[in-house]
Every structure is written in structure tokens, then in C-alpha cells.
Amino acid sequence: MSPVSCGMSPGGLPPASLLAVAAAAALAVAAVAAWRRPRPVREVLFFPSRPCCLEALLAEAAAPGAPARPCPCPLPRADTSLSRLVRRLLSARRSLDLCIFSFSCPQLARAVHLLHRRGVRVRLVTDAQYMGLHGSQIGRLRHAGIQVRHDQHSGYMHHKFAIVDRRVLITGSLNWTTQAIQSNRENVLVVDDAACVKPFLDEFERIWEEYNPANYSFPKVSN
């Protein structure tokens, strides 16, 4: 039996062996790639959320590594839907794009403000009719230097979504109000699937441009 007929290449290596080695190498590469690929983000949060103290979480985000001062409030430091939502927001390193119909929760406003102070580019779109309601955090965030834009329509800007670092989408039924967080049945979905995130990114940019103050119209005032 010649070397070729028994599976040897003219150079000495059998083609079948080569194929096997190549297949094994391909499988190994695929396995390593799968192992190194970050796990997809899929998290669902339901509300109402149990009351909890977020001071330690916010303090750590404001000054990482600094000794934590104990909070005198009686609330537990617990893993709740609200604390998980805040953690997701605080994970932003470069950008946070917000489209929030009603925003009156002081804790979420503190998280957003903190990101702004940390140099994260925060852009906030909201609803013109709801941003002026009692308890709204929009004025405070705008005062802190965060860019805010709003609609000028009779319909509501009713979205409630956030995009962290143009990569992670946080969306659902939850308005960012204490009432919704503590009393309502609500959901928030957190995903990094590009097929979901990309359309929301595009929608945000569309709205951001449409609500550019340069496009605002004001009723004419007669002299």
C-alpha cells in the first residue's frame, strides 16, 4: 500500500489527519470564542419593588472605594428591582440616553445626576406636559447641566426607556416615579440584543433631533 493510498499526503501527512486536525482546531477556536463571548444581558424586573436603602450603592458609585458612612434610615440594604435598575444605570461609562415620560423619583434622579458628574454624556428626552408637574426631577437635572429636550405636541412622549453606553436597553411600562416603583405592577426589561437595541437607538436620535430647541415654535406675542 502506497503512502498516498493509506492516507498519507505526498509531504508525509495523511489528508484525513489534516482534515481531523483542522476540524479539531476549528472546534477549539469556536469553543474559546464562545467561552470568551460576554454572556448576553437578559434581565426582567417586576414592580412594585420592596422599599430599600440605596445610600451605599449611590455613595460607592460617587466615590468608589471610599469608606461607606452608615445610613441612619431604617430601610434594609436589599437586592430589589429598584436597586437592580439603579445598578444598571450606574454601569454607564460613556453615555446614557433617556426617554422618560414622567420622572419624579429622587433616587433615580440622583443616579442620573451622579453619572453626569462622573463625565457620562447624559441626554434626556421627556414629556412637555409632565415635566412641569409637582415633584418632577426634570428641572433639577436641567439645573445640574444635563441636556433635556421635550416635545411640543398634544400627544404624550410616553416612552420609558434608557440606553446605557449605546449597548444595553432598559425599557418597559415603568414611569420613573416613586408611586410606580412602590405601588404599581410594572415591568422593566434589560437586554443587549443588538436587534432590539438598535431600533431604540435610532428612535432616540430621531426624537433628539426632532425636539431640538431650534425647532421649537412659540406663539407670537402681539406688541
- Interface with a second copy by CB under 8 A: which residues? 1, 3, 6-8, 14, 16-17, 19-20, 23-24, 27, 40, 42, 44, 46, 48, 99, 101, 151, 153-161, 171-174, 179-180, 182-187, 189, 191, 193, 195-196, 199-200, 203, 207
| Coil vs helix vs strand at 44 | strand
Find the catalytic residue in 143, 153, 158, 198.
Answer: 158
List the alpha helices (DSSP H) in 10-149: 15-36, 55-62, 81-90, 106-117, 138-143
Least separation, in Å, of the C-beta of 134 and a second copy?
A: 19
C-alpha 203: how far from chain center: 15
CA-CA-CA-CA dihedral for 166, 169, 170, 175, to nearest 10: 80
By C-beta, is 187 or 215 nearer to a second copy? 187
Q: Is 149 exposed, middle or buried (0-12, 13-18, 19+ CB in 10 A)?
A: buried
| Coil vs helix vs strand at 220 | coil
Rg (CA), the chain: 26
By C-beta, is 80 or 114 nearer to a second copy? 80
Is 153 among the catalytic positions? Answer: no
Least separation, in Å, of the C-beta of 184 and a second copy?
A: 4
Is 220 among the catalytic positions? Answer: no
Is 158 among the catalytic positions? Answer: yes
Residue 190 CB neighbour total at 10 angstroms:
19
Least separation, in Å, of the C-beta of 186 and a second copy?
A: 5
By C-beta, is 146 or 161 nearer to a second copy? 161
Residue whose C-alpha is closest to residue 114's, from 63, 66, 75, 78: 63
Least separation, in Å, of the C-beta of 200 and a second copy?
A: 7
By C-beta, is 117 or 198 nearer to a second copy? 198
Instruction: Report, as residue numbers or ranges, the catalytic residues.
Output: 158, 160, 165
